[in-house]
């Protein structure tokens, strides 16, 4: 069975197809220096959502003809990009590894706690109502888990440790490890000061 030929209108549309510069960069791998050699875009289109940021459009056939005319240099450029990507990835993995190691070993400090469980419970309830600005305050249920969270935020170096984190690979995992470690240290401290029941409930 012979393949169905494309209608002439479809072929013409394909010949005139334009693609945004993001596709030229991500699919074809052209860096900014090559885009400058490619020259001015064939069309400039305004975004519906944001008219202040127009989109540069290039005819796909023009882009591929540009690449074909520079095939040896193009392949060498792609090889360089791949090597650079591997180096960056290796460096990123090392940074993530170091972050996680730091989170697992950094010292967790717990300062002085209220003298009694009743005082801790009162502080926990008041802190929740203050920080939630009245939202869902009527639904608040005092639990050991809530007390652990209150101590984590007010009686440890948790916030100081979080302030050392910068946005980047591994940050979210590091935050979760820190939070888990601080909670464990807090539960142990509560167990020592107030007894087993408070620390064991609601893990």
For 77-94, the pLDDT digits (tens) are 999 888 888 888 888 898
pLDDT bin (cut points 50, 70, 90) of residue 108 is: very high
Q: Is the pTM of this model over 0.75?
A: no
Written as six digits, the tokens of 7 are: 């209608």
Q: What DSSP designation does 171 have?
A: H
Could you state, in order of their start, the residue ranges of all structural domains in the chain?
8-69, 93-200
Q: What DSSP designation does 32 have?
A: H
What is the distance between the alpha carbons of residues 61 and 160, in angstroms, rounded to a whole number?
55
> In terms of Cα–Cα distance, which of 189, 133, 195, 196 is closest to 156?
189
What is the distance between the alpha carbons of residues 141 and 125, in angstroms, rounded to a whole number?
9
- Determine what percent of the chain is predicted with pLDDT higher than 90: 24
- pLDDT above 50 (res 43): yes
Between 153 and 127, residue with greater pLDDT: 153
- Determine what percent of the chain is predicted with pLDDT higher than 70: 82
- pLDDT above 90 (res 145): no
pLDDT at 153: 86
Collapsing DSSP to helix, strand or coil, 185 comes out as helix
Q: Crossing angle of helices 117-131/144-154, nearest 10°?
A: 80
Residue 136 · residue 163 · CB < 8 Å: no
Q: Crossing angle of helices 71-105/171-194, nearest 10°?
A: 10
Average pLDDT rounded to a whole number, residues 21-49: 88
């Amino acid at each position: 069975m012979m393949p169905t030929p494309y209608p002439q209108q479809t072929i013409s549309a394909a010949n005139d197809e334009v693609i945004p510069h993001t596709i030229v960069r991500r699919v074809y791998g052209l860096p900014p220096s090559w885009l400058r050699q490619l020259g001015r875009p064939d069309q400039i289109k305004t975004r519906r959502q944001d008219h202040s940021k127009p989109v540069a459009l290039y005819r796909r056939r023009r882009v591929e003809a540009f690449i074909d005319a520079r095939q040896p240099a193009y392949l060498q450029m792609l090889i360089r990009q791949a090597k650079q990507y591997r180096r960056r990835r290796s460096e990123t993995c090392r940074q993530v590894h170091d972050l996680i190691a730091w989170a697992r070993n950094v010292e967790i400090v717990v300062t002085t706690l209220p003298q009694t469980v009743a005082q801790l419970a009162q502080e926990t309830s008041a802190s929740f109502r203050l920080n939630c600005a009245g939202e869902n305050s009527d639904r608040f249920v005092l639990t050991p888990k809530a007390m652990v969270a209150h101590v984590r935020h007010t009686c440890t170096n948790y916030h100081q440790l979080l302030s050392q984190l910068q946005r980047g690979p591994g940050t979210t995992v590091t935050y979760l490890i820190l939070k888990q470690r601080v909670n464990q240290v807090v539960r142990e401290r509560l167990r020592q000061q107030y007894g087993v029941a408070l620390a064991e409930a609601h893990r």
